[in-house]
Amino acid sequence: MLDASLAEVDPELAELVEGERRRQLGTLDLVASENVPPRAVLDAQGSVLTAKYADGYPGDRHYDLCEWVDGVETLAIERAKSLFGAEHANVQPYSGSSANMAVLDALCEPGGTVLGWDFEHGGHPTQYLSGTFAGRHYRTASYGVRRDDRLVDMDQVASLVEQLRPKVVFAGWSCYSRWLDFRLFRQICDSVGSYLVVDMAHFAGLVAAGEHPDPVPYADACTMTVHKTLGGARGGTIICREDLAERVDAAVFPGTQGCPLPHVIAAKAVTFLLAASDAFRERIARTVEGARAIAAVLVEAEGRTASPVVTAGTDVHQLTVDLGPSGRLAGDVWARLNRVGISANAMRLAYDVAEAPAGSGLRFGAAALATRGLDAADFSEVGDILADVLDGSFDSAGAASEKALARRVQALLERFPIYRYR
């Protein structure tokens, strides 16, 4: 059994994996948190490193014969530090959520106060929400975006910080389209001595490529995922100031995790290497350009879709459309997107008019398609397809229109294939 392939040992499972590979090949992926990890990352993540126990950190493990995995983790740490200009990096968090949990464990005693970004306003639940470790172990509150322009309400942040004097303030989002003023967040945190943690799970790749304001000079710590705009290993990473390194490391291991995953850390090392390249910078520039191109087409089409682009555009890799004025639910349009070969997210928005859980929001991201190779003109074609799907008259046009759109999606997929090897 040791040397037999997955297909030989478990054809049933192999068929499911192959089905997902074919699905990825045949879907225009506009899920803002997804990407196309390169083969080198998949090779590392499926390597023999999977077998090794290595609790601890390089040079200080609870297991013997760790010299090779020490080398792997040291490479990942040094590459992460160099990529982000960080004083310290911990590459062991299993995910972005684990990274947030460890940072809270490092910086805040249980029962302490934490201020996060409201989930329906674009934040991540693990920053504060009841039902997550943050909501269970800390006294939490949240801020959001303004009703009129849907930009983050920095007056509300300042007033909540003054009133609650939180130990930790999170800045960073899962669904937002504009840059953040990290200097202002820092000033507000300094006014009461709060730690500033920037959750850059989504925009870490943009920061690495210089396509987004850099939070590192302002934040006490930054958490990130390595598989979204960074486009690589499935997992999290924390970077922080040197004086917090010991606390952050102890909070990751043994505070909140057991053995690190050496195979995933190896895949993170490859990701950080690739993210330091000119090719990566070019791809991220094309990603942002792509999101802007889609947004521009959808803003232009607002007359016929009755679905405004939130904040009327984007500065980052994603944009959100508000179906509220059209009277349609995101879940219905989402199903139509799937039928023509597009994947995206339906979500509730700040001040959502819909009562259904899926709400009125559709989030579109350009990261995976930029990795496939699309350029600005191709992204405009994607925007045109989306505008047709969102068009109110589409309902009466029916199946014929869906077929025509599916053909246009197929033409793009054929021009930009992925995973041609098995």
Which residues make up the interface to ligand DSN (CB under 6 A)? Answer: 33, 96, 124, 174, 201
Minimal distance in Å, beta carbon 327 to ligand DSN? Answer: 26
Minimal distance in Å, beta carbon 33 to ligand DSN? Answer: 3
CA distance linking residue 289 with residue 278, whole number of Å: 16
DSSP labels, 55-70: -EETTEESSS--HHHH
Query: Is residue 390 exposed (0-12), middle (13-18) or buried (19+ Cβ within 10 Å)?
Result: buried
Choice between 56 and 359, CB closer to ligand DSN: 359
Encoded tokens for 271: 């990701």
How many CB atoms lie under 10 A from the CB of residue 386?
A: 28
Choice between 99 and 405, CB closer to ligand DSN: 99
Minimal distance in Å, beta carbon 125 to ligand DSN? Answer: 8
Minimal distance in Å, beta carbon 74 to ligand DSN? Answer: 28
Nearest of 93, 60, 329 to residue 201 by alpha carbon: 93
Peptide bond into 254 cis (omega under 30): yes
Minimal distance in Å, beta carbon 318 to ligand DSN? Answer: 9
Minimal distance in Å, beta carbon 403 to ligand DSN? Answer: 30
Choice between 33 and 401, CB closer to ligand DSN: 33
Query: Is residue 332 exposed (0-12), middle (13-18) or buried (19+ Cβ within 10 Å)?
Result: middle
Choice between 174 and 320, CB closer to ligand DSN: 174
Cβ atoms of 248 and 239 within 8 Å: the answer is: no
Choice between 99 and 188, CB closer to ligand DSN: 99
Query: Is residue 112 exposed (0-12), middle (13-18) or buried (19+ Cβ within 10 Å)?
Result: middle
Per-residue b/e over 284-308, b at no fewer than 16 CB within 10 Å? bebbbbbbbbbbbbbbebbeebbbb
Choice between 115 and 201, CB closer to ligand DSN: 201
Minimal distance in Å, beta carbon 173 to ligand DSN? Answer: 9
Minimal distance in Å, beta carbon 57 to ligand DSN? Answer: 26
Cα dist from 116 to 127, 160, 387, whole Å: 5, 11, 34
Nearest of 206, 220, 194, 185 to residue 103 by alpha carbon: 220
Cα dist from 223 to 95, 238, 239, whole Å: 10, 5, 7
Choice between 201 and 330, CB closer to ligand DSN: 201
Cβ atoms of 412 and 382 within 8 Å: the answer is: yes
Which residue's beta carbon is nearest to the bound ligand DSN?
A: 33
Minimal distance in Å, beta carbon 95 to ligand DSN? Answer: 8
Choice between 34 and 378, CB closer to ligand DSN: 34
How many CB atoms lie under 10 A from the CB of residue 24?
A: 15
Q: Which residues contact 349 (CB under 8 A, 6 or more apart)?
A: 120, 310, 320, 322, 324, 359, 360, 361
Choice between 244 and 358, CB closer to ligand DSN: 358
